[in-house]
Amino acid sequence: MLELTGLPIVELDLAIDHMREIGLLFVASGLNYGSRPETAPMSPSALALHMIARCNGTRDVYEFYGLDPAKDRYDSRAE
């Protein structure tokens, strides 16, 4: 991540924390300073996945990601 962004580690950590606080990253996402090299497990939140689909011009998230709502136990449309 450091090489990809070119940011100092402190700025990268602040950016990751901000994205987590506004709900774009899963709660457990962030930098692990105790490990060598530093790792940053990141998972997009449901909000981020919906936002990506909507920004790409679709209203149907299942269609965008090629998913079957009948297999989603949390989707009310599956009933």
- Domain residue extents for the chain: 1-43, 45-79
Residue 1, Cβ density class (10 Å: 0-12 exposed, 13-18 middle, ≥19 buried): middle
pLDDT over 70 (residue 53): yes
User: Please, are residues 77 and 59 in contact by the beta-carbon 8 Å criterion?
Assistant: no
Q: What's the chain's average pLDDT?
A: 81
The predicted model scores a pTM of: 0.67
pLDDT over 50 (residue 45): yes
% of the chain residues with pLDDT over 90? 27
pLDDT tens, residue by residue, 6-33:
888 888 888 888 998 999 998 877 776 6
